[in-house]
Amino acid sequence: MKRKVPKIINGIEYWECSVCHKWLDAANFYSEKRRPSGLKCLCKQCFRIELNATRDKISQRTCSREWHRKNRKIHPEKYRESNRKWRLHHYDRKSLKARARIQLNLAIIRGEITRPLVCDECGATGMIEAHHGNYNDFLKVQWLCKLCHGIKHWKENEGVIKCN
């Protein structure tokens, strides 16, 4: 990798931002001790944009989902064991949530309800899941793709801290 060299104009050092490629003076860059220049390679404005992009919860969930999807293929036994422990600890057939799920699946098997092919929110095709807005109404569901279903639950539970 080639070391960055500043431009010197009228006795002032100007550095190039690696994202926006603007030449700016050192005051427009945050410091970083590890670099030979002592400055970050991104200007302050680009650094803030990138920092906020990584704080976006939805994109963070997407990146995490992709990482787990790849890692699950590499270490399937680890995920199998983890899923087994989770089910033993969390899944209760007597809970209202479980009963709603069971009743809906039975209605699908009996042909009372048909699973649609597209998401109600975004219109995506693929694996469509049922979202119960109210678990007391077993058969009243909204059909969502996996991503919309996750976002819906995230928005509903935003700010709620669950303690085990």
Q: What is the pLDDT of residue 163?
A: 44
The whole model's pTM is what? Answer: 0.45
Q: Which residues pair with 23 in a beta bridge?
A: 16
pLDDT at 107: 92
- Whole-angstrom distance, CA of residue 12 vs CA of residue 15: 10
pLDDT band at 160 (very low <50, low <70, confident <90, very high): low
Q: Quote the percentage of the chain above a pLDDT of 90.
A: 29
H helices present in 31-137, as ranges: 44-55, 57-74, 76-90, 96-110
Residue ranges of domains in the chain: 7-55, 58-91, 93-164
Kindly tell me if the per-residue pLDDT of 19 is higher than 80: yes
Residue 118 confidence (pLDDT): 92
Chain segment 118-148, per-residue pLDDT in tens:
998 898 888 899 998 888 888 899 999 988 9
Phi/psi of residue 117, each to 5°?
A: -95, -10
| pLDDT tens, residue by residue, 61-106 | 888 888 888 998 999 999 899 888 887 777 666 788 888 888 899 9
Strands 29-31 and 39-43, by their bridges, are antiparallel
